[in-house]
């Protein structure tokens, strides 16, 4: 069902500093910051030859990332994102297997302008999983 690893998301308390680390210290190509008001985050994508790193920073007072940073002041890995060919078929199969889809269970448009869903971390060994339609 799952395809390639699309990205690993890292919540960061200082987006400019994190971007500079990846760009200036590690020599990676990084995107400009992209506000995602529907998700309460600002993102920067770090392009790698085989995948991406998504730097997440809170946008607005109700950002879900702020809660994560309140518990993890230095930041840390927030979620992993896998590609699927058909997000609705993947969701339906996962639900029949007893997996929990977060939110209302309907795909939302994510940072890549593609449908995404999040799966409950308790069903995936403590890891928040995002599925993105390829």
Q: Which residues are catalytically annotated?
A: 130
- In angstroms, rounded to a whole number, what is the distance separating the alpha carbons of residues 124 and 75? 21
57: which 2 tokens?
A: 């920073």
- Determine the length of the chain: 134
Q: Nearest 5°: phi and psi at 39?
A: -110, -5
Contacts of residue 119, defined as CB under 8 A and 6 or more positions apart, other chains included, come to 94, 99, 100, 101, 102, 128, 129, 130, 131
């Amino acid at each position: 069902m799952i395809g390639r690893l699309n990205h690993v998301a890292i919540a960061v308390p200082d987006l400019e500093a994190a971007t500079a680390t990846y760009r200036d210290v590690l020599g990676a190509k990084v995107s400009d910051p992209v506000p995602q008001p529907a998700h309460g985050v600002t993102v920067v994508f770090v392009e790698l030859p085989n995948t991406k790193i998504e730097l997440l920073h809170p946008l607005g007072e109700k950002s879900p990332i702020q809660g994560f940073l309140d518990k993890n002041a230095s930041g840390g890995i927030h979620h992993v994102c896998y590609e699927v060919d058909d997000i609705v078929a993947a969701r339906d199969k996962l639900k029949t297997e007893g997996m929990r889809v977060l939110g209302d269970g309907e795909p939302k448009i994510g940072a890549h302008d593609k449908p995404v869903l999040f799966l409950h971390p308790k069903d995936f060994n403590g890891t928040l999983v995002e599925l993105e339609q390829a």
